[in-house]
Amino acid sequence: MIGSDLTAAFGVFLTGVAVCMVKGVSLVWALAVGFVCFFGVALGRGFHVKELAAMAWKGMGTSMKVLRILTLLGLLTALWRASGTVAVFVWTGAKLITPRSFVLIAFLLSSVFCMAFGSCFGVAGTAGVILMAIARGGGANLTVTAGAIMSGIYVGERLSPASSSAALTAAMAGVDQREFQQRMWRTTPTPLLLATAAYGVLSLLFPLQRLDMQVVSALEQEFSLTWPTVLPAVALLVLPWLKLNAVWSILVSCVLSALSALLVQGMPAEQLLRACIFGYRNSSPILAEIISGGGLLSMVNGMLIVILSCGNSGIFSGTGLLKPVTDGLSRLTARIGLTAAHIVLALGCTGIFCNQTVAIVMSAQLMKEEYRREGREPMELAENIGNTAINLAGLVPWAIAATVPLAAMEMGPSILPWAVYLYLLPLCWWFQNRKP
């Protein structure tokens, strides 16, 4: 039994989550309330303040690698906008569009963009907005187009060196991020090819009626779209394959972006510095809402969520408060298999906590004991989380992993059945590892 005290604490926490979702405020407040509640439950069960603080601090320590990446991502998201890297990606993709290839290009462009950017939110707010503008202006099927974009913006969430989700998964499982992402590449080809084929067919069935290139013209006027603007993305994608870790790869990309902003786009140094902190702002009426954003301050909320989630994880781990839950998961795993249990857990955690980060942390926290009991390697834990929790979060309509991209595209949850890659990935993984 979990106990009435812990049940009450979870009740208060989940009420806080619901209030945050309804009011549209940061989940940080609910996580802070939860931290206080769980700390109080542990105190009531005989643990001392100092040892609980040490547990929380140890848990927060696992987030340090992720926080370094989030800090650099804050810089990167602003610098890529200022340097013209974002613009050249979108411009190139838009130039490739033909009426009968539009849905497929929307998926592939979003996928490539996310491979470089590492964030579904960042891609939805830039390439996603532009592609939906083209779809609306060209009479395309908006539901199918948005589903293709929703699929694409998650491809890099597991694979990109700049992905904070991949970094967090590796940190929580205790494995090397680069090795973990190499494993993710092994499970990607089948669902990616199936999704590509599906969107190829849908492109033919739902063609673009007309092509409005107003955004493309605006990009050409605002930015110098020359080859140096591509270098930051090339560095980020190539350097990890040369065995340079994610932090250094992102740092090199940041330096190249800054040089492009200063020397190619002619941006004043003081304006670039402000952009790094507060986010890039574009003055064009057409591009202002699309290209603007990023900066260190944009990462503060995500950093706090990671810190508090890991702090709660440290308390759960040190006190054994969740042992009844882990025992229940062990029985579930014995009945339906490890991969299926991860799928259920990922959907459950995302549905309850409405957050991909918390789902990753809780999946690792709740399943670690099962892996130790069975003598499994930490990399197996990382693989199962990477192939379930990271992408499945985008299929929970009320979780921020879905609501933020949907809001950026101005679409509703009805598009999610068309986001085929999001469920092809865990289904293929389950099929590969199902019980005989």
Question: What pLDDT does 1 receive?
Answer: 57
Question: What pLDDT does 220 receive?
Answer: 85
Question: What pLDDT does 212 receive?
Answer: 67
pLDDT at 201 exceeding the cut of 90: yes
**CB neighbour list of residue 99: distance below 8 Å, 6 or more residues apart:** 138, 207, 208, 209, 210, 211
Query: Who wins on pLDDT, 122 or 368?
Result: 368
Instruction: Give 220-223's long-range contacts (Cβ < 8 A, gap of 24+).
Output: 220/91, 221/284, 222/87, 222/282, 222/284, 222/287, 222/291, 223/84, 223/87, 223/88, 223/91, 223/265
Query: Who wins on pLDDT, 194 or 287?
Result: 194
307-332: pLDDT as tens digits? 888 888 888 888 888 788 888 888 88
337-361: pLDDT as tens digits? 889 999 999 998 888 887 888 889 8
262-301: pLDDT as tens digits? 999 999 999 999 999 998 888 888 777 777 888 888 888 8
The per-residue b/e assignment along 7-35, b for 16 or more CB within 10 angstroms, e otherwise, is: eebbebbeebbeebbeeeebbbbbbbbbb
pLDDT at 106 exceeding the cut of 90: yes
Q: Which of 58-72, 105-119, 336-350 has the lowest mean pLDDT?
A: 58-72
Question: What pLDDT does 433 receive?
Answer: 82
Average pLDDT, stretch 242-252?
Answer: 82
In the predicted model, what is the mean pLDDT of the chain? Answer: 87
Question: What pLDDT does 264 receive?
Answer: 93
Question: What pLDDT does 261 receive?
Answer: 94
Cβ neighbour number for residue 106 with a 10 Å cutoff: 33
pLDDT at 32 exceeding the cut of 60: yes
Question: What pLDDT does 20 receive?
Answer: 84
Measured CA to CA, the distance from residue 115 to residue 224 in angstroms comes to 23
Question: What pLDDT does 327 receive?
Answer: 81
Measured CA to CA, the distance from residue 169 to residue 176 in angstroms comes to 10
Question: What pLDDT does 2 receive?
Answer: 67
Question: What pLDDT does 39 receive?
Answer: 92
**CB neighbour list of residue 173: distance below 8 Å, 6 or more residues apart:** 180, 364, 378, 379, 381, 382, 385
pLDDT at 436 exceeding the cut of 50: no
